[in-house]
Amino acid sequence: MPTFRLPRLTLIFNMAFLGLLAVALGAHAPAMAQSKPAKTLKIVALGDSLTAGYQLANGEAYPDVLQKALAGRGIQAVVANAGVSGDTTTGGLARLDFSVPEGTDAVLLELGANDMMRGVDPESPRANLTKMILKLKERNIPVMLFGIPAWSNAGPDYAKKFNAIYPDLALVYQVPLYPFFLEGLIGNRDMMLADGIHPSAAGVREMVRLTLPHVEAFLRKLPAKP
């Protein structure tokens, strides 16, 4: 039976190809071995009872539900709940430094509702929120602002001054703004507690559903950190 032999040039080509393939695979092996998982973001939700989860069970507050929703969108994050029921912008400013530890990647800032409900001069929450934004910027911590408009019984003059705070600050300091944290909830009994002021567990889930696209867009634009 005749013996089949590859032509010499074909044999040399095949051997060269196999050598190049081995080199290529070897070059990619260390890169694959050294690949790292996506960084887990450290986020602080700094706010009042709307953030804290007033009268809700563990795991039902906005930061907890948001963290799970972000994971579902492929964003690994720990959202710390720095909400304090009854807190004003004055209180938020006073506790800013210890509420936002070193290593924080971003802050979701939701304060001002209690100032408004107490009839505090709008210049006070404006000044306090300004100081908080500037202090966080000095620390290179990006901020997303969550607003809340004045109640209808606050009076037109008060409402005009108060409602201008959030869009003004967002424009001046170039921070993203979600204008109304309770959007779609006020007046909906299924979404609110009996007091008509605080969201129920279902209300929080709706808040997360509505805010998630905005928060996700904010987080995906964060500057890379080592």
Residues classed as catalytic:
49, 195, 198
Question: From the DSSP assignment, how many helices (H) and strands (E) are in the chain?
Answer: 10, 5
The type of residue at 186 is I
User: Over the Cα atoms of the chain, what is R_g?
Assistant: 26
Residue whose structure tokens are 């994971």:
71
Can you state the angle between helices 62-72 and 201-220, rounded to 10 degrees? Answer: 50
Report how far residue 129's alpha carbon sits from residue 112's, in angstroms, rounded to the nearest whole number. Answer: 8
Report how far residue 21's alpha carbon sits from residue 23's, in angstroms, rounded to the nearest whole number. Answer: 5
Q: Residue 97: count other Cβ atoms within 10 Å of its Cβ.
A: 11
Report how far residue 181's alpha carbon sits from residue 147's, in angstroms, rounded to the nearest whole number. Answer: 6
C-beta of residue 72 within 8 angstroms of C-beta of residue 11: no
C-beta of residue 164 within 8 angstroms of C-beta of residue 171: no
**Cα pseudo-dihedral 206, 210, 212, 213, rounded to 10:** 160
C-beta of residue 77 within 8 angstroms of C-beta of residue 215: no
